[in-house]
Amino acid sequence: MESTVHFVFGIFGNIFALFLFLAPLITFKRIVKKRSTEEFSGIPYVMTMLNCLLSAWYGLPFVSPNNLLVSTINGTGAAIEFVYVLIFILFAPKKEKGKILGLLALVLSVFAVVAFVSLFALHGKNRKLLCGIAATVFSIIMYGSPLTIIRLVIKTKSVEFMPFFLSLFVFLCGTSWFIFGLLGKDPFVAIPNGFGCGLGAVQLILYAIYRNNKGETKKSSAEESLEMESSNGKPHQEKPSAYTQEEQVWTHKCLLSMTYIVTCVPQSHFLLYENLCFCSNDPFAC
């Protein structure tokens, strides 16, 4: 019975994780259409790929038994992220292209070293320990990235840049893999995903508290300023809208802040902030 429940939560984790991995398709459709990466950063995709590679390697039977579902979703995620990186390199400016290529080479080298050492120099528990620590460290680092968004929400008392569905799926994904790790008695799966589950819960709580404030405060302040200017008898001159640029800057911040919702859990993340920042913050409006 316990093994069945363990398997079911692994399937749930795969489903939620795949949704997060595919979320950046919106972004890359835009990049291909405009033939430009604009203000987007390719770094999160490269780092997510490394995290997926390490987690997929850890889940292989000769490294850690009973974690094949960890390998399937992270192997899939690594392939998806690699395609994203290739598209980004294809349409990035020359300077950015060189930076991403260099980072990609570094990431592949790190993975190759971990894989080589664990395969030929270590055996049994020591092999599992090295691969588990490597995957866990990168997972926690990437899981900690949303703290930037949480801090922003608390500071502004607005959920304008914390989409509901992202927070929900981060929570569901982290919870599924956390339970999977507990049932499998695997701390390298349970610990980072327990951390991610907690952060997802915090985001949902903050959304419940500030759900009625989605940027209206800034809007009303701007309107008050305009009314004061009009009351002083000064003619109002419309300035060129910088919304697109601001939108891209915020999107960039959201993207960086979400890079890594992965272990066994993708994180793409991470990455979903970037796509949903363009949507209304009403959960049902996108």
Distance, in Å, from the CA atom of 99 to the CA atom of 33, rounded to the nearest integer, reads: 23
Distance, in Å, from the CA atom of 196 to the CA atom of 264, rounded to the nearest integer, reads: 11
Contact yes or no for 167/207 (Cβ under 8 A): yes
Distance, in Å, from the CA atom of 166 to the CA atom of 251, rounded to the nearest integer, reads: 14
Query: What pLDDT does 214 receive?
Result: 62
Q: Residue 282, SS3?
A: coil
Query: What pLDDT does 168 receive?
Result: 86
- What values do phi and psi take at 268, rounded to 5? -35, 65
Contact yes or no for 26/277 (Cβ under 8 A): no
Query: What pLDDT does 145 receive?
Result: 64
Give the position of tokens 């339970």.
179
User: What pTM was estimated for this model as a whole?
Assistant: 0.72
Which tens digits make up the pLDDT trace of 172-213? 988 999 999 999 999 999 998 998 888 889 989 998 998 887
> CA quadruple 185, 191, 192, 195: dihedral positive or negative?
positive
Which tens digits make up the pLDDT trace of 150-177? 888 888 888 877 778 878 888 898 899 9
Q: Residue 268, SS3?
A: strand
Give the position of tokens 């997926």.
52
Instruction: HSE, CB side, 13 Å, CA atoms: give it for residue 273.
Output: 32
Domain boundaries, the chain: 2-215+247-275
Distance, in Å, from the CA atom of 189 to the CA atom of 128, rounded to the nearest integer, reads: 12
> CA quadruple 170, 172, 173, 175: dihedral positive or negative?
positive
